[in-house]
Amino acid sequence: MPKPRKAQISLDATPYYHCISRCVRRSFLCGIDQYTGKSYEHRRQWVEDRLILLARTFAIDVCAFAVMSNHTHTVLRINEAKAENWSTRDVIERWHCIFAGTTVSKRFLKGDTLLECELNQITTLAKLWRARLQDISWFMRSLNEPIARAANQEDQCTGRFWEGRFKCQALLDEQAVAACLAYVDLNPIRAGIANSPESSDHTSVQKRIRAAKSDSRYQPDYLLPFVGNSRKDQPDGLQFNLQDYLELVDWTGRIQREDKRGSISTTLPPILQRLNINEAQWMQLTGKLESLFPTFVGHADRVKIASKTLGHQRVSGLAKYRSLFST
């Protein structure tokens, strides 16, 4: 039986989550239908545009994404501190970017004079919307529902476009986050629809590479930036160096495509050394992360703690976690 979201997502366990949404009824999110010859490539941009809007609106950071032919990958981080720093007006303005709001909330934003009962209603709404704007389930709902409606309208049909639930993996430590980022960014290469990270359209790694080429100091504002891990006073972001990560993705992608480890350099990028991951572990993690780990990704001790925090009755596959994650 599928577990409820409260048993899968908790800030007490980790703020990082890998979410996968898949289409049903042989639906195409994008790509070309081999039976009809119809192209759905334009739908990739639908997803990307919506992701950018949500990343700029929610208190949920987008770390990575990849839009595939019948599913999407997103790596998300809940940013509770960001949401708590918003004023009531900030919360309502952000909510109105995605949803219609209420008559009272519209009047509040216009600056109309409100009765005491209406002000109380605004306070209640702001509390509710603040919580939803840092909720991954609401983020995925806000991403998937508009895409489903537009696709159904285009296909002239009704019914489900996505599976009823998105799959969710909790990323419990830096090793898990790094492996999942690379797994998502390399999805188009593994699927054979791209030859390199820079040619992988509608992926976060392509956006980062293009930004780095134009200005090494610039990273897309809708993606959580790489900030390195050398200073205690560093800004908020992913605790890796961008150059290290891009080299790592390229190195990993070449091994997976060519399947000839002896033909390329065996010198590991520094990020693997810092995270205490060896080559064999890394290839397992970035090649089979989704199938290996149903709910949690991380060290065995972190998995046991997270399982207890989220109320799971038992922890399965601990030997697998121990073999793939170093302590």
Residue boundaries of the structural domains of the chain: 23-79+138-168, 82-132, 174-319
pLDDT at residue 267 is higher than 50: yes
Q: What's the pLDDT score for residue 1?
A: 46
d(C-alpha 89, C-alpha 102), whole Å: 14
For 158, the token pair is 């009704």
Burial class, 284, CB count within 10 angstroms (exposed 0-12 / middle 13-18 / buried 19+): middle
Q: Which of 158-162, 180-184, 279-283, 315-319 has the lowest mean pLDDT?
A: 315-319
Residue 215 banded pLDDT, cuts 50, 70, 90: low
Q: Enumerate residues 6+ apart whose C-beta is below 8 A from 211.
A: 218, 219, 220
> In the prediction, which pLDDT does 234 show?
67
* Residue range 238-253, pLDDT digits in tens: 888 888 888 888 888 8
Which of 77 and 25 is assigned the larger pLDDT?
A: 77
Distance (Å, whole) CA 86 – CA 7: 27
Residue 262 is predicted with a pLDDT of: 43
How many CB atoms sit inside 10 A of residue 99's CB?
13
Helices within the chain (DSSP H only)? 42-57, 80-84, 88-98, 103-110, 116-132, 136-155, 174-185, 187-190, 204-214, 242-258, 270-274, 279-292, 300-309, 318-324
Q: For residues 89-103, give the mean pLDDT.
A: 95
Q: Residue 268: pLDDT band by 50, 70, 90 thresholds?
A: low
For residue 79, give the amino acid letter: N
Using a pLDDT cut of 90, give the percent of the chain over it.
Answer: 39
pLDDT at residue 7, as a whole number: 55
22 or 321: whose pLDDT is higher?
22
Cα separation, 102 vs 95, whole angstroms: 10
* β-bridge pairing 167-171 and 16-22: antiparallel
Confidence at residue 263, expressed as pLDDT on a 0 to 100 scale: 42
**Lowest-pLDDT choice from 3-7, 101-105, 140-144, 260-264:** 260-264
pLDDT at 190 > cutoff 70: yes
Residue among 297, 208, 298 at smallest CA distance from 244: 208
> Which has the closest alpha carbon to 202: 39, 46, 22, 28?
46
The per-residue pLDDT of the chain, averaged, comes to 84
pTM of the model: 0.87
- Among 28-32, 71-75, 178-182, the range scoring the smallest mean pLDDT is 28-32
Q: What amino acid is encoded at 278 in this protein?
A: N
Tokens of 164: 């009823």
pLDDT tens string 138-162 = 999 999 999 999 988 888 888 888 8
Model pLDDT for residues 7-50, shown as the tens digit of each residue: 567 777 789 999 999 888 666 666 666 677 778 788 889 999 99
The token pair at 298 is 């991380």
Instruction: Enter the tokens of residue 180.
Output: 């999942």
Question: In terms of pLDDT, which residue wins out, 23 or 123?
Answer: 123
Nearest Cα residue to 163 out of 99, 297, 70: 70
Q: What local confidence, expressed as pLDDT, does residue 4 receive?
A: 60
